[in-house]
Amino acid sequence: MRRIVQMLLCACVAALGLVQARPLQAEQGGRPAKLQAERPSAPAGNVRSGSPQAGPEFFVVCDQALPAQTWTAPTAGAATTLHSCQFHVGGAALAYVLVTGSFGLNANAVASQYEANVEVLLDGIAVDSMNRFANVYSQASSNDGLDASFASSALLALAPGVHTVAVQASYRGAGPLKLSAGHFGLVAFSSTSAQLQACGSSDGFGVWMGSPTFAAVRSCAVTAPANGTVLIGADASVLGTAANQELLLRVGVDNVAGDEASERRILMTGAEPNTSPGGDGDMDANAAIMASLPINAGTHTIYLSGKTTSPAPPIMRSTLSALVIPQGSPVQTCANALNPLATLETNPKDLIVCSLTASGAKRALIAGNLNPHYASGGAPGEIRSRLVINGLVPAASPRTAEIMPNFNAGAWKDARVLVSATGATLPAGPVDIRFQGANVTHPASGAQAPKTSLFALIVPDLYVNRAYIPAIIR
C-alpha cells in the first residue's frame, strides 16, 4: 500500500511540473573560439511571455553555490563542468538563468596567469551569447594578482519535459584555473503565467561595434498585465582593442537612451598586461547591468543601450532579460533605490538595504551589482562585494576584482563590474537583505561606488507543503 501511495504522489507532482531540480553530470566539451560562434544557438532566440492565463502556475528553482576550488585538470583548452541541473516543467516555460563568480591566481606569479572562459549549455547546446571570458594576470604591486569577475544571464524558452542546464569552465595559459566563489541560479515558470511576465533577447552571436551616442544593443517587448515592477538584467563580453577605451551601458523602458541611474561604465586597456601562452593579446572584460524599475500596464519595449569612445571596444556577446512582477502577484521583489556615490572602506559597508515581509515560504534569487572606480592613491584597489541575508553571508556571494590607477580615462580610472549573487530559502515573515562593498587595500588606494543596484526575484516555495494523499488501511 505504501508503494502505491508513493507512486501516486510522484505522478501528481510530475503532472504539475514540480519535480525538484537535481544535479546531473553534463557532457564536457572543448573551449570555443572567442571571435566566432561555437555551436548553433537555437535554444536562445528572442523570447517573450504569452498572454497571461489562469492555467496551472509553477515555479522550478535550481540554486547551487559553486564552491571555491582549483583545477589542475583537464589540461588548458579542455572544459570542466562547474555545475549542472536537470529539472522538469509541466508545460511551455521560460527559464531565467544567472551564473556569476570570480576567478583568481594561486600566487602572484606570471607563471600561473591564464584566460578563463565560462559557457552555459541548454540540453547540451552552448548558448553563444552567454559565453564569457576573463583575464587573470599577475601584477607586481598586487597581493594575489588581477582577480576577475564574470556574470552570464539569459531568458531561455523551454518546451514541456525534462531539461538540463550546465555550466562549464576552461582556460588558456599556464593556470591552473581557480574559482574563488560562484553561484548558479535558475527560475523556470509558465510562459503564460499571470504572476510573472518576461521577455528576453539572447539570439545569435551578439556582436555590437559601438556608437558615439546611446543606441540599442538589444531590445525586447513585454506586456505588463498591471502596473508593477520590472527587473532588468543584461551582461556582455567586451574586447579591448586599444588603450583607454570606454563603454557605457544603460537599460530602460521605452527609452533607447536608457535610465541614467542604471548606468555602468567599463574601461578597457587594449593590451593584456602579461599575455599568457595561447592568449590573444586583447584585454577581456565582463559588463553587467541590473535595475529594478517601475512599469505601467501595457506593452513596452525594454532596451539595453550602449555608448562608446572612438575607437570603440566591441561587444562580442550580450544578453538582455526583463521580468515583470505585476502588483498583487505572489512573486515579490525588493523595493530599493539606486544609491548615490559611496566611498568604499576597508571593512564591508552597506550600500543598499532592503526590508520586506515574505508572505509564505519563498525561494529567492538575489544579485547585487557594483561598478567601482579608482579615485586616488598609488596602489591597486582590491574591491570585494557580498550579500547579507537576515544577518548571514551566503558562501556563494563574495566577489573580488582589482581596479588599477594606471589605466586612466578621465575621472573614472579602470572601472569594473562585480555581481554578487546567491539563492536563499526565505521563511514567512520579515526579510532583511543587504548588499555590501569594501576596498580591502584602503587607504593605500581610494575607490568609490556609484549607482549600486539590487536585483531580487522572490517566488513561492512550492516544495514546503508537498501534496499528501491520506490512505486508510483496512
Q: For residue 73, how many other CB atoms are within 10 A of its CB?
A: 8
Q: What integer pLDDT is reported at residue 212 of this predicted model?
A: 93
**Minimal CA–CA distance to 115: which of 327, 229, 278?**
278
Instruction: Classify each residue of 53-62 as buried b or exposed e, where b means 16 or more C-beta atoms within 10 Å of its C-beta.
Output: eeeebbbbbb
* 249 pLDDT more than 90: yes
Q: For residue 365, how many other CB atoms are within 10 A of its CB?
A: 25
Asked if residues 277 and 173 have their Cβ atoms less than 8 Å apart, the reply is: yes
Asked if residues 383 and 418 have their Cβ atoms less than 8 Å apart, the reply is: yes
**pLDDT band for position 10 (cuts 50, 70, 90):** very low
* 278 pLDDT more than 80: no
428 phi/psi in degrees, rounded to 5:
-60, 140
Q: What integer pLDDT is reported at residue 403 of this predicted model?
A: 78
Q: 319-342 pLDDT, tens per residue? A: 999 999 999 999 999 876 557 788
Is residue 27 helix, strand or coil?
A: coil
Can you tell me the distance from the alpha carbon of 312 to that of 300, in angstroms, rounded to the nearest whole number? 29
* 125 pLDDT more than 60: yes
Q: For residue 98, how many other CB atoms are within 10 A of its CB?
A: 27
Give the HSE-up count for residue 297: Cα atoms under 13 Å, Cβ half-sphere.
Answer: 7
Q: What integer pLDDT is reported at residue 389 of this predicted model?
A: 96
* 206 pLDDT more than 70: yes
Element (H, E) at 444: none
Mean per-residue pLDDT of the chain: 82
Can you tell me the distance from the alpha carbon of 18 to that of 106, in angstroms, rounded to the nearest whole number? 41
Q: What integer pLDDT is reported at residue 243 of this predicted model?
A: 72
Mean pLDDT of 196-213: 90
The residues, any chain, with a CB within 8 Å of residue 405's CB and separated by 6 or more, are 374, 377, 378, 379, 380, 381, 413, 414, 445
DSSP string covering 216-282:
EEEEEEEEESSSEEEEEEEEEEEEE-STTEEEEEEEEES-TT--GGG-EEEEE-SB-SSPPTT--SB
Cβ burial of 402 (10 Å; 0-12, 13-18, 19+) is buried
**Minimal CA–CA distance to 119: which of 179, 80, 70, 169?**
169
Q: 126-180 pLDDT, tens per residue? A: 999 999 988 888 765 554 567 788 999 999 999 999 999 999 999 888 888 889 8
Look at the alpha carbons of 406, 408, 413, 419 in this order and tell me if their dihedral is positive or negative.
Answer: negative
391 phi/psi in degrees, rounded to 5:
85, -5
Asked if residues 174 and 113 have their Cβ atoms less than 8 Å apart, the reply is: yes
**pLDDT band for position 474 (cuts 50, 70, 90):** very low
Q: What integer pLDDT is reported at residue 72 of this predicted model?
A: 63
Is residue 308 helix, strand or coil?
A: strand
Q: What integer pLDDT is reported at residue 40 of this predicted model?
A: 47
Which residue would you say has higher pLDDT here, 385 or 53? Answer: 385
